[in-house]
Amino acid sequence: QYDLLTRLLTMNSFQKNKTFATLLAFLVGAIGAHRFYLYGRKDLGAWLHLASLPVCGAIMTLWPNLPFFFAIMPLTLSALIALIEGLVLGLTPDEQWDALHNPDTSRPSHSSWLLAILLVLIVGAGATGLIAVIARSFDLLFTGGAYG
């Protein structure tokens, strides 16, 4: 009983799942949820993702006549960066994943078909988002928003 209690108290990390981290990057990566999951509250990158929300709010408050597309640009960029991070997380080999994120656990990670589907969705969402940002930027900058 004492050994079990000692092991629980000295255990500083839990088994981090690569598929779950990739899912977090895909769904709520714009606010840094995947980075908080992997690195904790001390991660600067997670706080930079999360800071995009108040920056968008400040932009909307300071410049109320600015087109909505430009006002949410920090959050949009954060989301696109999170999709790239999710792709990198998902494509990390299991052995390297365990060495980076699960060094104290004895159970090895095993990726499944769900991760492959998630990576395809991330590539599709990232490509669609990037093309949409470029198209809308050109529309607003060169025509003043005449096409939408």
Do the Cβ atoms of 45 and 81 come closer than 8 Å? no
145: left (phi over 0), alpha (psi -120 to 50) or beta: left
Task: Please give the structure tokens belonging to residue 124.
Answer: 């599709």
Distance CA 5, CA 11 (A): 10
Q: What angle do CA 82, 25, 118 make, to 5 degrees?
A: 115
Give me the tens of pLDDT residue by residue for the chain, a chain 148 residues long: 555 545 544 455 578 999 999 999 999 999 999 999 999 999 999 999 999 999 999 999 999 999 898 899 999 999 999 999 999 999 999 999 999 999 888 888 899 999 999 999 999 999 999 999 999 989 888 888 777 6
Beta strands in 4-137 (DSSP E): none
pTM: 0.84
| End-to-end Cα, the chain, rounded Å | 67
Determine the length of the chain: 148
Contacts of 145 (CB under 8 A, 6+ apart): 67, 139
Distance CA 65, CA 14 (A): 47
